[in-house]
Amino acid sequence: MVAIGNHMKMQLPDHLRPQARIFYGEVLGCRALDSPLADLDLFEFEGGFVPGIFGDDALALAEDDYLRGAWLELKTEDPDALKRRLLEFGVAEVDYADTSRFYFQAPGGQVFRIAPLDGGL
């Protein structure tokens, strides 16, 4: 048996790091963690999931490739309230065949969808 870990690495253009810090820290309410590297920001979601966000123009995806990466799900007790905060922040909505969920792009292009904590697929 294999289990998925609680860490993920993402690359984004360096100029988007300040916006990503606001997105993960303030909009999503993640806890900022101390980082061992100057070009790495770490945030902890409730439950212990930690994305590592590297600012590196040379390694970040081109904007045309954003939608080709892995898509992730965010679960919350109040999907509508989170959607409002995200739209106020200015995320780009992603059009997708599944219209039962809100899909959006975070700073740097990562695609997420919002689902209720108690919801199924």
Interval 83-104 mean pLDDT: 96
Q: In the structure encoding, which two tokens stand for residue 1, read together?
A: 């048996």
Look up the domain containing 26 and give its range. Answer: 7-116
Res. 15: pLDDT tops 80:
yes
Assigned domain for 45 exists: yes
Interval 17-22 mean pLDDT: 97
pLDDT mean across residues, the chain: 94
Express each pLDDT in 31-71 by its tens digit. 999 999 999 999 999 999 999 999 999 999 888 898 998 89
Please say whether the dihedral angle defined by the alpha carbons of residues 26, 31, 34 and 39, taken in this order, is positive or negative: negative
Assigned domain for 121 exists: no
Q: Are 12 and 60 in contact (CB under 8 A)?
A: yes
Which CATH number do you get for residue 98? 3.10.180.10
Give me the pLDDT at residue 69, please: 87
Query: Which residues are CB-contacts of 6 (< 8 A; sequence separation ≥ 6)?
Result: 47, 48, 49, 50
Domain count, the chain: 1
